[in-house]
Chains A and B, each alone.
Chain A
């Protein structure tokens, strides 16, 4: 019940296309859903995050869509660029817990 399931494991998108990464969770106590971006040889960095009281959050080309009833959330990258090539991790945490649960990661490659 503590898992966050992420798909796909890898994704190839043409430059200018839309990249979509999906995550699902079971624990209804989760109330904070961040996405982290990791470049090769580096540590992850927070990209964008959402709370369950909103269905969508947009920051530039990055959008999180949240479906509370389905217990799913997704990251959309519009107008994908080669510089977006990285590994993306979804995550979840609850206000009653002291730790964040990470998904298994998606390696995104943007083809020029």
Chain B
């Protein structure tokens, strides 16, 4: 089955700790994205990547970092600098970042602070 796999489904972070969320896709898509979802605030873009070894900051990149060393993988690290990390994190991909491209989303990771 083609799709996007996010892991883990639930993650707990201790204060001062960095945590990494995994995102893998087997759709052969060039573009990948990370969104943060908070109740009543919709989906806010953290980072996106249009091609391997390249990525750009989205609207709320502070306290987060990413890498894109392989086409199929786009991990997100939530650093200790992110003071309010509790949220539902969604990874998505599309064939490109061109006009009208459909986003395919994973099932998300719920991150909570201990």
Contacts from A to B (Cβ < 8 Å): 6, 9, 31-32, 34, 36, 41-46, 49, 51, 89, 93-95, 98-100, 102-105
A32 to B56, alpha carbons, bound, how many Å?
A: 22
Question: In the complex, what's the smallest C-beta–C-beta distance from B9 to chain A, in angstroms?
Answer: 8
Residue of B nearest to A93 (CB): B99
Give which listed residue, B50, B92, B102, B108, contacts A98 with CB less than 8 A: B50
Asked, given contacts A43-B90, A44-B90, whether A105 binds B100 with beta carbons under 8 Å apart, the answer is no
A89-B43 in contact (CB<8A): yes
Q: Which residues of A contact B98 (CB under 8 A)?
A: 95
Contacts A9-B40, A44-B105, A46-B103 given; 19 further ones with Cβ under 8 A? A31-B99, A34-B102, A41-B107, A42-B108, A43-B6, A43-B92, A43-B105, A43-B108, A44-B103, A49-B100, A89-B43, A93-B99, A95-B98, A99-B48, A99-B58, A102-B42, A102-B43, A103-B42, A104-B42
Interface string of B18-59 (1 = CB under 8 A from A): 000000000000000101000011111100101000001010
20 contacts between A and B (CB under 8 A): A6-B42, A31-B99, A36-B103, A41-B107, A42-B107, A42-B108, A43-B4, A43-B106, A43-B108, A46-B102, A93-B99, A94-B99, A95-B99, A98-B56, A99-B33, A99-B45, A102-B35, A102-B42, A102-B43, A105-B43
Residue of A nearest to B94 (CB): A100
Asked, given contacts A6-B42, A41-B108, A105-B42, whether A100 binds B103 with beta carbons under 8 Å apart, the answer is yes
A45 to B106, alpha carbons, bound, how many Å?
A: 9
A105-B40 in contact (CB<8A): yes
Residue of B nearest to A98 (CB): B97
A98-B48 in contact (CB<8A): yes
A98 to B33, alpha carbons, bound, how many Å?
A: 11
A32-B100 in contact (CB<8A): yes
A95 to B98, alpha carbons, bound, how many Å?
A: 7
A102 to B36, alpha carbons, bound, how many Å?
A: 11
Question: In the complex, what's the smallest C-beta–C-beta distance from B29 to chain A, in angstroms?
Answer: 14
Question: In the complex, what's the smallest C-beta–C-beta distance from A67 to chain B, in angstroms?
Answer: 20
Residue of A nearest to B3 (CB): A43
